[in-house]
A and B are shown apart, each in its own frame.
Chain A
Amino acid sequence: MTKPIEGEKKVFMTGNEVVAWAALAAGAEIMYGYPITPQNEIMHYWTRMAPKYGRKFLQTEDEISAGFTCTGGVLAGKRAFTATAGPGNTLMQEPMSMAEMMRIPTVLIVCQRGGPSTATVIYSQQETTMTCYGGNGEGFRIVYSTATHQELFDYTIKAFNTAWKYRFPTFVLGDGYQSKMRESLSIYDPEARNIEMVRAEPYVVKGGVPGENRDPAHLRNTYNMEEELYEVIMDHAREYEKIAPEIIEYEEYECDDADVLLVAHGVVSRAAKGAVKELRQDGKKVGHFKPVTLRPFPEKELLERAKAAKQVIVIESAYGQLDKLVKSHLYGCSTPIAQYFRPGEGITIEEVVQETKKYL
């Protein structure tokens, strides 16, 4: 069967289209989903393209079911994914909690919309806390926050590998702007860039004989004793902390001599970067730090930059969700932290420039 993408090519498309192409290129075998704006077109493009490459799709009755069927697909050894937004993300926290408990490598693409509840179908960064820490667990998950269509493509592919390599549920945190906007990027066959896809394998119905030539598949989501659960969670915690340094990603822009450090993630970092570019032209010492992984968080790296700066400004389209993350990781740093919150609203270069000038 022909590959969805041969080699590499330049394209101009919407973010939802980008995700569908990336999942195809990554060799995702099945998508489970339930429609919600602004996620819909990921499903539309997937269902249009997937059959040509022998891939499958299941529409479920809601997001709880989409999440659970996705974990089921993964247990059966399929490289499976799902995508959702807003209230759908809320419902998906229950299956994602199970994925966390049982170390099931699900991949979930989140297209953040305004919240709480139905709110807007447009855009926000208000699903940051939920995507990082949703459910009744400890947030042992991997969350990539993307800013451009190129990142959306790159990290959607990467999410499958991170999930299957480390066996923690993995999330690509996009937003409605990224879903709906069109811009250029390069799409590619992972092989063309020497990216090897981590093999998916079944958790259940394995070959061989348990106890003889393989370990039994002992999958638990229920525990009878406190001590038993404690051991399991502590194992997860140790494992998560051990692998965190390998997973952490971040981007720095003009940070070396920055007096004012702008911290932003996702699409907002484009405004922060644009503002730094503009202010640097006037000789202002401003830099931008963008955590790409929100879980695990690039704590050491940010701390180093924040300590060297005179002022940190956290900029986000939410009322303090990134701010909470930043503060918890900057504990002990005495650099003042200011906030620019626009919950549910896009942030432009112009307003970041204006806001930053207050601290120069």
Chain B
Amino acid sequence: MAKGVKIALAGEGGQGVQSVAMILTEAAYAMGKEALYIPNFGVEQRGGVSVAFVQIDDEKIGSPKFKTADIVVALSDRAVRRTTMYCDQETLFFYDDNIEDVEEDLPKNSKKVVALPAIKVAKEELHPRVFNVVVMGAVIGATGVVTEEKAKEALESKLGYKFEQNPELREMNFKALQRGMEIVKEVM
């Protein structure tokens, strides 16, 4: 990776965007990269659009927030409307294809707008609860910021205690990660 990657992840509270940001940056850190993650907290914490700003680079990272992202991921209609402001002509914009009535609100100026079937894949093939891990897989597939192996290790360190109680969860999460990486290749 020659240049740092800036990612803005947005969704409804509870969709797990902050967890994705945390696991992603933990994985990058474990790979010896510089990583910075800052949640957009405040009123959002109490029900609203939750945004995570992630930066991964080979060099020390500058300001914690940025004007425009290389990758924006929006997981709800409100998140789509909220995050178009982080787009410019270099931005890859992902949104879930399950979100309705946002055609008008999608960014007009971004490099590419991609609909991801993350909710569908999670619901039909796995379990709705691993939806955010499918999304994380898609981000990894699109950017290559971290390896699949390090992402698995980061998942293990974050969710290991749950995996111990129910080993099937481990399989499901790893599968979700893999499917995320696959679907992004299919739709791009």
Contacts and interface: CB of A to CB of B under 8 A. Distances in A.
Interface of A: 12, 37-38, 120-122, 177, 180-184, 267-268, 270-271, 273-274, 277, 346-351
Given A12-B25, A183-B34, A177 B64 contact: yes
Interface string B49-84: 000000000000111111110000000000000000
Given A38-B41, A180-B39, A270-B63, 15 more contacts: A12-B25, A12-B29, A37-B41, A121-B42, A177-B38, A180-B41, A182-B37, A182-B38, A183-B34, A183-B35, A268-B63, A270-B61, A270-B64, A346-B64, A349-B63
Contacts of B67: 348, 350-351
Interface residues of B, number: 20
B26 interface: yes
B21 to A, nearest CB: 9
A72 B181 CA distance: 58
Contact of A349 (B25, B37, B39, B66): B66
Interface in B127-186: none
Contact of B63 (A12, A38, A180, A271): A271
Chain A to chain B: the 5 pairs with minimum beta-carbon distance, closest first: A274-B62, A181-B38, A271-B63, A12-B29, A346-B65
Contacts of B26: 12
B92 interface: no
Interface majority SS (helix, strand, loop, mixed), chain A? mixed
A45 B29 CA distance: 22
Contacts of B37: 181-183
B97 to A, nearest CB: 31
B8 interface: no
A181 B64 contact: yes
Given A270-B64, A349-B63, A12 B38 contact: no
Contacts of A346: 63-65
B62 A273 contact: yes
Given A12-B29, A183-B36, A271 B62 contact: yes
Contacts of B22: 182
B7 to A, nearest CB: 14
B41 A122 contact: yes
Contacts of B65: 177, 346, 348
A360 B26 CA distance: 40
A111 to B, nearest CB: 12
B42 A120 contact: yes
Nearest to A11: B29
A184 B29 contact: yes
A12 B24 CA distance: 12
Interface in B16-47: 22, 25-26, 29, 34-39, 41-42
B114 to A, nearest CB: 24
Contact of A350 (B25, B34, B68): B68
Contacts of B35: 12, 182-184
A274 B63 contact: yes
A347 B66 CA distance: 8
Contact of A267 (B34, B63, B66): B63
